[in-house]
Structure 1
Amino acid sequence: MNLARILRHLAAGRMALRRLFPASALVAIEQAIESSEVSHGGEIRFAAESGLQLLSLLKDQPARERAIEVFSQLGVWDTEHNNGVLIYLLVADRDVEIVADRGINMKVGREKWELICREMEGAFSQGKFESGVIAGIRAVGEHLREHFPSEQSEQQNELTDRPVIL
């Protein structure tokens, strides 16, 4: 049990998350997802969480495990071509995780997703939360565009583009 981590998560409040992502930033992120999805057949979701619940902390739940839970809860796996991607931010740990469904994950290696995560975390360490997320969306979109190019006749938005604040 990591007491410092527990205290950091308990101290992280939703208000801090709202300061990092005000309404204008959420609109910009939603627009970035919409814009990206015009050029590919994939689905991108973004979710941010200030900190984990106490029970999860006592179990020492890693951010990756929580991201997988959120991936499931948001139904990112529920796309026709199994090409949904979740970008998950756990603010208290300053940890970004990308969880991709099997259709795109088979084509893009874990190393490429990790690179995008580290680049986003670098932007966040400079206080550039909105631009860091948008850069991450663009990078994920490039991989989706390469492997799932847009077919205008088939294009359908299967998941909402609205960011989720947990």
Structure 2
Amino acid sequence: MNLMRIIRHLVTGQSVVKRAFPPDTLNTIKQAIARSETTHSGEIVFAVEAALDLSLLLKNHFSRERAIDVFSLLRVWDTEQNNGVMIYLLMADHSVEIIADRGIHTRVEQTEWDAACHTMETAFSQGQFEQGILTGIDVITKVLQQCFPADSAGKRKSELSDCPVVL
């Protein structure tokens, strides 16, 4: 258990998320997800959380475990083709995770997701939160276009909300 990490989580509030992701930025992200989803049959979700609560910190939870929990809570796994992908950002840890459902997980190497996360983290470290997420959406879009191309009839029902989720 890292005392400095616990303190960082306790002092990181929702205001950090609001500064990094004001309403205009959240709307831009929503539009990018909606545009992306017209080019493939996958689903993309973006979730951001300021900090973990004390009970998770005391259990030594890290961003990966929390991302998997959020993936489940938001039911990203609940798509017809098991092709949901979530970008999860934990502000207090300056950490981003990409979680892919089983339909995609078997087709994409973890190193590809790790590279996308590193690119986003670099943008975040420069205060470019909107651009970081948009870059992540672009990477996921390319993967989904290859693995789950759009329906040739052009019919697509969005199974999950395109709105960013602020936890």
What band does the TM-score fall into relative to the shorter chain? over 0.9
Which residue in 2 is equivalent to 1:69?
69
2:164 aligns with 163
Shift of 1:60: 1.1
Matched residue, 2:44: 44
Please give the alpha-carbon distance, in whole angstroms, between the structure 2 residues aligned to 1:105 and 1:84.
Answer: 10
Query: Which residue number corresponds to residue 87 of structure 1?
Result: 87
1: CA distance, partners of 2:124 / 2:166: 17
Cα drift, residue 154 of structure 1: 4.2
Equivalent AA in structure 1 for residue 158 of structure 2: N
> TM-score w.r.t. structure 1 length?
0.98
4+ aligned runs moved over 6 Å, structure 1: none
SS at match of 2:142: helix
3-state SS of paired residue (2:159): coil
List alignment gaps of at least 5 residues for structure 1. Answer: none
- The secondary structure found in structure 2 opposite 1:45 is strand
Distance 2:36 2:135 in 1: 11
RMSD between aligned alpha carbons? Answer: 0.7
1:72-117: CA deviations, max 9, x gaps?
0000000000000010000000000000000011111111011100
In structure 2, the partner of 1:136 is: 136
The answer to whether the 8 A contact 2:39-2:145 is kept is: yes
Q: Shift in Å at residue 155 of structure 1?
A: 1.5
The 5 Å alignment of 1:5-154 reads 5-151=5-151, 152-154=153-155
Query: How far does residue 55 in structure 1 lie from its aligned partner after superposition?
Result: 0.5
Match of 1:76, as an amino acid?
A: V
Query: Aligned partners of 1:147 and 1:99: how far apart in 2?
Result: 16
When normalised by structure 2's length, the TM-score is: 0.98
Deviation of 1:158 (Å): 0.4
Alpha-carbon distance in 1 for matches of 2:73, 2:42: 18
Equivalent pairs: percent with the same residue?
Answer: 52
State the distance in 2 between where 1:114 and 1:37 align: 22
Match of 1:113, SS state, is: helix
* Amino acid corresponding to residue 85 of structure 1 in structure 2: V
2:16–2:91 contact (8 Å) kept in structure 1:
no
Show structure 2 runs of 5+ residues with no match. none
Query: How far apart are the structure 2 equivalents of 1:84 and 1:118?
Result: 20
Matched residue count: 166
The 3-state SS of whatever aligns with 1:99 is strand
One-letter amino acid of the counterpart of residue 2, structure 1: N
